[in-house]
Structure 1
Amino acid sequence: MGSGETDLRSWYNNRHSDYTPSYSKEWDLKDKTATKSGGASKFLAVLKNEIIPFVDAHYKSNDNRGLAGFSLGGLFTAYCLSKNLNYLIAME
């Protein structure tokens, strides 16, 4: 799994938390897990402040970036675009 998690439930919980822009109690209780929605702003900050600078420092890159996604990845993409970001990143 891309997040480094070895079990499906942990992967789902991390994806759900990182890709959702707002908290939803109903959604979080749906599967009766420890999932907490609404972490997209934190995930975006990590992408902008840690991941993109790391990639730029260690690999040949340029300012041509793209952003794409589907399902929760598409939701995160729409969230990023709604924030009118200059950083566009390739995902999924």
Structure 2
Amino acid sequence: AMFTAFFFMIIFVLLSGIFTPISSMPAWAQELTRLNPLRYLVEVMRMVYLKGSTLADLTGHFIAVCLFAVFFNVLAIVSYKKS
């Protein structure tokens, strides 16, 4: 489980836009980053630190992260099996 988690975390970090801007990635990778929650965190950090964005500017990213939270929590509840 630890190896699998490490494997996916490396992929998520590489596709988040920390090291390489998302705009310079291939088209298929740009579309794949839409499913990566870390992408939205990196964009929010850049918007706040570099541009001084307000909460109104971050609303779209906040909604995306909330949708990820709802999806993964519902997935966890549905997949939970009492033993």
Is TM-score (shorter-chain normalized) higher than 0.5? no
Q: Which gives a bigger RCO, structure 1 or 2 (Cα 8 Å, sep 6+)?
A: 1
- Give me the TM-score of the superposition, normalised by structure 1: 0.34
Higher helix share: 2
